[in-house]
Structure 1
Amino acid sequence: MTMQDFAMRYWRNQGAPVEKLRMGFATYGRTFRLASAASGVGASASGPGSAGKYTREPGFWSYYEVCTFLQGTTVQWIDDQKVPYASKGQDWVGFDTKESFETKVNYLKENKFGGAFVWTLDLDDFTGQFCGQGTYPLIGHLPHF
């Protein structure tokens, strides 16, 4: 069970109307500085990853910064969470993709939850210059409910 599944079911089971429950879709990645050569899920971290070139906040990269980082890496998939991650050197980043967005949308539809919200428009590749997937590759991939 994922953290999102736990939270959505918790609120539903507490009596919240399912049509009012929304799940967040992130257009950013969370980064960590690896403490050793191990880079898989659960690897030790010594703190947040380096600051992004544009976001300038340690541990937090926009999706367009993630796309730049992914060049020369192999994206790994966390099966039980249905999300990807990648690492290079001591930097590790977990993020969403079109595929993980699809999984979340299917989950929302199957459980008849109310919908989604995105955080945030300006963190997606709004210019289409970084990811090679056109403008707003993540947000533009979300279907209408």
Structure 2
Amino acid sequence: MGITVVAAMLSIATPASAQAGRLFNAGPQMNGYCLATHEPHVFAYSKCRTEKYVDQSWDVVQWSNGYRIQSLYLQGCLTARGDGSVFTYTWCENYTDARWRPYQGQWGMWENVYYAGYCLAAHPNGRVFVSQCNKDYSDQYWFINS
């Protein structure tokens, strides 16, 4: 099972895709890590290749002003704050800080719609956050498995 660039995986959620969920895998700097949540806390988990848990399941739903990255664990949406923190929030339909888009057309880099110029990132200590988008930073790349 290989990793596919997010562009090939984006679709409107259906009951079948929502039940299955997908891993949101970190880029090359953090090989083997994936996005996980103990809602509302979001973290990068290091054993995604060997240990599969429901808190690692996500779906990406196209929205009118970006994409909603939604946890299938408790249905919280990935949301950012101005202080750089990232968390999940369950009532996210009307909030642009819970919307993401490819940064300058770069699939795999997720820019927050509300905090333009800030992308989803993580460090090997498990911390997930947003920081100024930089295409040279491999910790800002995320891919969804097929």
TM-score tier by shorter-chain length is under 0.3
The TM-score normalised by the length of structure 2 is 0.26
Q: Specify which structure has the higher proportion of strand.
A: 2
The TM-score normalised by the length of structure 1 is 0.26
Q: Specify which structure has the higher proportion of helix.
A: 1
